[in-house]
Chain A
C-alpha cells in the first residue's frame, strides 16, 4: 500500500481518538455525572392522569413569613405570618393587621373571631385587629403549630407536648386530646419536625395529624378516640419521608386534602382514607418547600399557602 495512504489513515485515526477523548472529557453526559450523587428525581414523578386539579389563580402577599391560612364563611382569606392580611372574595387586600409577634397559625369561627397562635399564647381578635381576649398555654415551652375553632371550642395543637389543648371560646381549659393509650390501641402522637395540624370534621369531630406515624386521627369533643387512617409509602398513595402529612383541610363532602414536605405534594383522600387524586405535584413547588398550609372555600376550591414563593395558590377541580 502506498505509504502516504497509510500515513493519512493513521493521522485520521489519531485525530479521531483525540476528538473522542476531548468529547468524553468535556462534553459527554458522563463527564458531568458523579459516582456518589444520589438521584431523587424519580421520587418527584407523578402520573399526570392522577392530577385532577388545576391552578387558577395566585395571591402575591406582602408578608415576609407565611405560616397559616384560614377562610371564613364569606370566603374571606386570612393569612398569618409576620403580619395578618385579609383578602376579599375577589382576592383583593381588604385589611392588614400589624402584629408585634409572628403569628404561627390562625383559625376563624362563624362569629368572625380570629384565633391566632403567637408563641405559647392564643390571641382572639376581630377583623379590625382589636384584641378581644388572650390567654397563655400552661406550658411556656409550647410550640403552637395548629389551631381550629368551632363556635363552642378552640383546639390548639402543641408540637412540644404532642397534645391538643381544648378550650372554650373564653379560654377556659377543658381537656387534652391526642393522648395515647396502649390498652385501647390509641397510638401516641409522634412529632419529628414542627408540623402538627388540626381541623374540624363534618360532624364537629376534631381531626389531628400524627406525622411520625403517617396518620390522621379523629377525636370527639370529650376526647374519645373515634378513628384513624393513613400509611407510609414511597408511592403516591401513602405519606412519604420521615413525618407526613404536615397539614390538611377537609372538603365539604368529607374528603381530606393533605400536604407533605420532603416531596412537596398535595393530594385528596376519601373520608375513609382511600387515595383519590393529586391536586399539585412536586413540580409545582420550589425545592425544599414545606409547611404548605391548606384551606378550602365554599366552592371547594383549595387554597395553598406557599411559604417559599410568599403566595396563596388557588386550585380548582378540573371539569
Chain B
C-alpha cells in the first residue's frame, strides 16, 4: 500500500479527533513539565559566599534595590563582645563611646549595648544597613569576623541576572538552593527563605 493511499484513508473526522487528542496530551505535558520542578526540585536564590567575599563595598551600590538587599548579619556565637569593636569603631578613635564621629558605619546602623564590664553587644538595624561592608571588613581585620554580608532573602527580588553578582570582583555571589539560602560561618542558620 502506497503512502498516498494511506493519506486518502485518513478522514476529516479522524484528523480532527487525532488533533484534539494531541492537543490534550500536549497540554498535559506542558503542565507536568511546569509543575514537576516545583514538586520535586528546588528553587534557587542568590547568596554571598562569605569565604570568597572581599568586602569591596560594591553590594551597596550595585543592587537594583535602594537600599541594597545585601545586609550585614551578625553571628553572635563568633562575636567577642568587644569593647573596642573593629566593626563599630573607626580606626584610631580616642573615645570608645557611641558618638557619631567614632562610628565606622556611614548610616549608624549598628547599635552598641553594654552587657557587663568589659563586654558589649552589637545589633544591626536592617532598615538602616546599606550593605556597604565597612563593618564586615573592620570586624574581620581586627576582630573575629562575626559580622558577615548576606543577601536578605526577604528583600531580594531574586532577579534572573543579579547585578551585584555581575559586578562582584571575587565571584562571591552565586545561586544556591533555597533550602540553604544563607551561607554564614559560625552559625547554625535556620535557612528560612
Contacts and interface: CB of A to CB of B under 8 A. Distances in A.
A35 B61 contact: yes
Interface stretch (B15-23, B83-91, B174-182): B83-91
Interface in B57-116: 57-58, 60-61, 80-82, 84-86, 91-92, 104, 106
Interface residues of A, number: 20
A288 B142 CA distance: 10
A35 B62 CA distance: 12
A38 B137 contact: yes
B52 to A, nearest CB: 12
A263 B91 CA distance: 13
Contact of B140 (A240, A243, A288): A288
A263 B142 CA distance: 7
Interface in B144-162: 144-145
A38 B57 contact: yes
Secondary structure at chain B's binding surface: helix, strand, loop or mixed?
loop
B183 interface: no
A232 B86 CA distance: 13
B141 A242 contact: no
A255 to B, nearest CB: 26
Nearest to A244: B142
A193 B86 CA distance: 14
B34 interface: no
A37 B142 contact: no
A36 B81 contact: no
B183 to A, nearest CB: 17
A51 B60 CA distance: 39
Report which residue of A36, A43, A288 has the largest number of chain B beta carbons within 10 angstroms of its beta carbon: A36
A26 to B, nearest CB: 13
A193 B144 CA distance: 7
Report which residue of B104, B106, B132 has the largest number of chain A beta carbons within 10 angstroms of its beta carbon: B132
Given A43-B91, A43-B141, A262 B86 contact: yes
Nearest to B140: A288
Interface of B: 55-58, 60-61, 80-82, 84-86, 91-92, 104, 106, 118, 130, 132-134, 137-138, 140-145
Given A37-B133, A192-B81, A243-B82, 10 more contacts: A34-B57, A34-B61, A36-B106, A37-B56, A38-B104, A38-B138, A40-B137, A43-B141, A193-B144, A263-B141
6 contacts: A37-B133, A192-B80, A242-B84, A242-B86, A262-B142, A288-B145
